[in-house]
Chain A
Amino acid sequence: MGKTIKLKKGFNINIMGKPQKTLANDFTARTFAIKPTDFKGIAPIPKMLVQVGEEVKAGTPLFFDKKNPDIKYVAPVSGEIAEIKRGEKRAIIEVIILADNNIQFRPIEKVAINQIGREELVQHMMSNGCWPFLTQRPYGIIADPQEVPKAIFISGFDTSPLAPDYNFAVVGQKEYLQTGIDVLSILSGGKVHLSLNGNTQNPSELTSLSKVDIHSVSGPHPAGNVGVQIHHIDPINKGDIVWTIRLQDVIALGRVYKDGQYNTERFISLGGPPVKNAQHFKTYIGASIENMVKNNLKDDHVRYIDGSVLSGTKMEPTGHLGFYENQISVIEEGDKHEMFGWIWSSYPRPSASKAFFSSLFGGKNQEFNVNTNTHGEKRALVVTGQYEKVVPMDLHPMQLIKSIMFGDLDQMEGLGIYEVLEEDLALCEFVCTSKNPVQKVLRDGLDMMREQG
């Protein structure tokens, strides 16, 4: 039986341009890309298996990491390799595919999952491209095939600003979800956990799944973060390893084992104040956003974000969706001076503090037009208790960040660094009065811990 978890701490940033529960008509992306930089823990120059000009099918291996040659990273669609983009020190940053009009799938050898052993299943997943769906905590890296995780966690909803609606995306996917869960239950050394939004009515596609513990989690963001859910369901202790997988990747995994096709079709949301028609798009992993945003913006001095405004990555208007991202956010650039802006704000802005008239009297439903301005400069940490209010975990985020700053590994471990990834403390960075780079510091800390092994 699942748990019912009610979280109070956290903060919902109410941004204009929320994606509507509609699906864009006739949307197709021309190019798709797989970015080796999305996979944490692999070397910057993977071994390429394809060349520019080569034809690939959906599921054709593109490259692998030399340390783990069995794990293949595959093409999400069929078409021609258009470009292999390199960045600094010749690191490969993007493998771009010019997609066919009709996607062709590389046939995957069918296996009966209830008849093969775990070992065989792991081998199969590594070769067919499904393995990178699995992320390992601590550290948020590609799952290590040598390990058996104590549990696998799936978050069934996303609470981040402008997030896609998974309840909308899973409609009609019941069988694939169940097959995906079946596969995961073989991989997991313990249980498979799925958390559903306790604030809404969830579809039967999710509530009727078997071989999985279904939990109800409610509260403001980051209640939908799998890290927060793990903390309340079965926390990560020293030496523990858990895996996580995103809900739409479970569907893709199910399709591989049910249909024998690497079919990553999924819903992506596009949202933000400058977006004319904020809604969902049906596409595959790595889609170019060009056709989503073209003629769909009210303004062109904007920032395109692969992911959420809290922990996504800046991208070009012709860029491609990240491997693990389900949303594209567009917001105004805020590179403008504001006279006496620190005391007299010339436009309403979201704040978790109560130091603005809008946050005192604006009401819960006030939506904000946000921009990228920092609204102040970086300062020493002065205000206390602020981070704690937005992290619904038994954790002292400010002290954890400080222990990373002064490099105290014992304290980092003791205060729970294994339990968090950047996205879990992203709100701390947002609310920080002193404008500190919390997520970057946390990543430094995680890297430090990983190096120490």
Chain B
Amino acid sequence: MQALRNFLDSIEPAFKKNKFLHTVYDGFDTFLFAPKETTQGPGVHIRDGIDLKRTMVLVVLALQACLLFGMWNVGHQHYTALGLYPGLGEALFTKFSYGLLQMLPIIIVTHLVGLGIEFFFAAQKGHPIEEGFLVSAMLIPLIMPPDIPLWILSLAIAFAVIIAKEAFGGTGMNILNIALTARVFIFFAYPTEISGDTCWVAYDYNFLHKLFGMEGGTLQALGMAAVPEGGWISRVVDGFSGATPLGLAAKGGWDAVANATLPNGTAQYSLSNMFFGIIPGSIGETSKPAILIGLGMLIMSGIASWRIMLSMLAGAVVTGLLFNVIGGNAFMAVPFYYHLIIGSFLFAMVYMATDPVTAAQTQTGKLIYGFMIGVIGMIVRVLNPAYPEGWMLAILFLNVFAPTIDYFIYQRNIQRRLKRA
């Protein structure tokens, strides 16, 4: 350990000559060793053990259950679509490997593009690298469809990091949630890649799959000689649809969801399938238990605001109940508690709405902010025919309003102070 320290100290002068290289050096140095910096005063002489690195990394750790489950589910949906290994316990390793190899390029590209831009801006400003993007870089792959083209992903990340973050001054200064900005960019610029019935399952094999012979394995298992002409998507077994419950519900009301079946005849969107997340969807947001593990970690460590989560839940439940009472159509009549396990509600609540930079900052503001997200997200989801899912738009919308909510809270405090004089 001391040898490594000495080595790092000895190579620092070489990196100091170039601004960009020194930023990179500093990033890795502070990753390996917490700095020996001490308090200088005036001010406190001791500091809390917590820092931004630990905070951000705890969020990344809280996402790991979603990531691991997502990898398996990507594989499971893939093979289900091709009519292979329908059992949940079947071919665990194959399914997981497929998902892992499908996701590796997505994760790597996200980090390369995002961190590359971050490093560049940090070097330009002469700042150390801020850890904020570590969380964004974990969130972005999890909210993408599993077969997102990498070039579109790169564009979206560049857009989000440059326009939504660096243009506003970098970490801590952004108005909009970075991960959601990346997603909304794709949503509006390349809508076919992130909406509809075919994007939620990965059908094809990428170069990594081929490298590890996974495509060959599938050909063998299916007794085929060559990849079908229309791509693997043309080989999907009868009776399989990659449509998400919300996609179905928006088109055909709730009946369409209830009637959806898997090739083996069982219900595709049974309550348990939706709860455990064995359904097509964005990579990391299908499994509710995995998200609940993260929720537990974030609440226990006090990193995410329970106020936002609770009030968002309340907003969604109240609106859901209201729809139930009105009951204008089949979708509105869907029991409110279904809304909590379909789509990305839970993931958005735990990881997106709670982003402290873009949420309201006051304790009361957080309650209003969360509640409004719950209400607006449900309205978009149920009443708006154009967008099947509402949380991304609701959160971005409230991101914009969060400073206004806080403004009124501060104003109230100022008025109270004036009044008591």
> Which A residues are within 8 Å of any B CB, using their own CB?
13, 235, 237-240, 303, 305, 309-314, 329, 331, 333-343, 345, 349-356, 360, 370-377, 379-385, 388, 394-396, 398-399, 411, 414-416, 422, 426, 429-435, 437-440, 443
Q: Is the CB of B361 within 8 A of A384?
A: yes
The CA of A416 and the CA of B52, in the complex, are separated in Å by 28
Q: Is the CB of A350 within 8 A of B48?
A: yes
Q: Is the CB of A375 within 8 A of B43?
A: no
The CA of A422 and the CA of B43, in the complex, are separated in Å by 8
Q: Is the CB of A394 within 8 A of B413?
A: yes
The smallest C-beta distance from A424 to any residue of chain B, in angstroms, reads: 13
In the complex with contacts A350-B46, A430-B47, A438-B43, A377-B421 CB distance below 8 A: no
Chain A facing B: main interface SS: loop
On chain B, the residues within 8 Å of A343 by CB distance are 53-54, 57
Closest to B61 in A: A343
21 residue pairs from A and B, CB less than 8 Å apart:
A303-B45, A311-B43, A313-B42, A337-B5, A341-B34, A355-B50, A360-B300, A373-B36, A373-B38, A376-B54, A379-B172, A382-B55, A396-B362, A396-B413, A399-B410, A431-B48, A431-B50, A432-B48, A434-B51, A438-B43, A439-B42
On chain B, the residues within 8 Å of A399 by CB distance are 361-362, 406, 410
Q: Which of B5, B36, B50, B414 contacts A353 (CB 8 A)?
A: B50
The smallest C-beta distance from B419 to any residue of chain A, in angstroms, reads: 10
B44 at the interface (CB under 8 A from A): yes
On chain A, the residues within 8 Å of B45 by CB distance are 303, 305, 309-310, 312, 314, 329, 331, 372
Q: Mark B129-165, 1 if CB is under 8 A from A, else 0.
A: 0111000000000000000000000000000000000
Q: Which of B34, B55, B130 contacts A338 (CB 8 A)?
A: B34
In the complex, besides A238-B421, A376-B35, 19 extra interface pairs with C-beta distance below 8 angstroms are A237-B417, A309-B45, A335-B38, A336-B36, A337-B35, A342-B30, A342-B34, A353-B301, A355-B54, A356-B49, A356-B50, A372-B45, A375-B47, A379-B172, A383-B52, A385-B363, A396-B362, A396-B409, A432-B47
Q: Mark B159-197, 1 if CB is under 8 A from A, else 0.
A: 000000000011111000000000000000000000000
B333 at the interface (CB under 8 A from A): no
The CA of A359 and the CA of B390, in the complex, are separated in Å by 38
Closest to A11 in B: B48
B14 at the interface (CB under 8 A from A): no
On chain A, the residues within 8 Å of B89 by CB distance are none
Q: Which of B30, B43, B172, B418 contacts A440 (CB 8 A)?
A: B43
Q: Is the CB of A355 within 8 A of B413?
A: no
Closest to B366 in A: A385
Closest to A383 in B: B356
Chain B facing A: main interface SS: loop
Q: Which of A376, A439, A443 contacts B44 (CB 8 A)?
A: A439
Q: Is the CB of A351 within 8 A of B49?
A: yes
Q: Is the CB of B38 within 8 A of A374?
A: yes
Closest to B172 in A: A380
On chain A, the residues within 8 Å of B4 by CB distance are 339
The CA of A162 and the CA of B152, in the complex, are separated in Å by 58
On chain B, the residues within 8 Å of A314 by CB distance are 41, 45
B305 at the interface (CB under 8 A from A): yes
B83 at the interface (CB under 8 A from A): no
On chain A, the residues within 8 Å of B131 by CB distance are 379
Q: Is the CB of B34 within 8 A of A416?
A: no
On chain B, the residues within 8 Å of A385 by CB distance are 305, 356, 361, 363, 366
On chain B, the residues within 8 Å of A331 by CB distance are 45-46
Q: Is the CB of A437 within 8 A of B50?
A: no
On chain A, the residues within 8 Å of B272 by CB distance are none
Which of under 10, 10 to 19, 20 to 34, or 35 or more describes the interface residues of B? 35 or more
On chain B, the residues within 8 Å of A238 by CB distance are 418, 421
The CA of A435 and the CA of B172, in the complex, are separated in Å by 14
Q: Is the CB of A351 within 8 A of B50?
A: yes
The CA of A411 and the CA of B410, in the complex, are separated in Å by 9
Q: Is the CB of B58 within 8 A of A355?
A: yes
In the complex with contacts A342-B51, A379-B52, A337-B34 CB distance below 8 A: yes
B359 at the interface (CB under 8 A from A): yes
The CA of A40 and the CA of B42, in the complex, are separated in Å by 14
Q: Is the CB of A342 within 8 A of B46?
A: no
In the complex with contacts A350-B48, A376-B52, A398-B361, A355-B128 CB distance below 8 A: no
On chain A, the residues within 8 Å of B32 by CB distance are 339-340
Q: Is the CB of B413 within 8 A of A374?
A: no
The CA of A314 and the CA of B362, in the complex, are separated in Å by 34
The CA of A315 and the CA of B76, in the complex, are separated in Å by 65
The smallest C-beta distance from A411 to any residue of chain B, in angstroms, reads: 8
Max chain B C-beta neighbours (<10 A), residue from A305, A384, A440:
A384
The CA of A434 and the CA of B171, in the complex, are separated in Å by 11
Closest to A237 in B: B421
The CA of A237 and the CA of B132, in the complex, are separated in Å by 39
On chain B, the residues within 8 Å of A336 by CB distance are 36
B302 at the interface (CB under 8 A from A): yes
B17 at the interface (CB under 8 A from A): no
In the complex with contacts A396-B410, A429-B43, A439-B44, A376-B50 CB distance below 8 A: yes
In the complex with contacts A372-B39, A416-B417, A433-B132 CB distance below 8 A: no
On chain B, the residues within 8 Å of A374 by CB distance are 35, 37-39, 47
On chain B, the residues within 8 Å of A334 by CB distance are 36, 38
On chain A, the residues within 8 Å of B207 by CB distance are none
Q: Is the CB of B49 within 8 A of A349?
A: yes
Q: Is the CB of A375 within 8 A of B48?
A: yes
The smallest C-beta distance from B101 to any residue of chain A, in angstroms, reads: 28
On chain A, the residues within 8 Å of B43 by CB distance are 311, 422, 426, 429, 437-440
Max chain A C-beta neighbours (<10 A), residue from B54, B131, B413:
B54
On chain A, the residues within 8 Å of B37 by CB distance are 335, 373-374, 377
Q: Is the CB of A380 within 8 A of B1?
A: no
Q: Is the CB of B34 within 8 A of A430?
A: no
B303 at the interface (CB under 8 A from A): yes
Closest to B52 in A: A379
List the 9 closest A-B pairs by CB distance, nearest first.
A376-B51, A341-B34, A380-B172, A414-B414, A237-B421, A349-B49, A342-B53, A354-B302, A337-B33
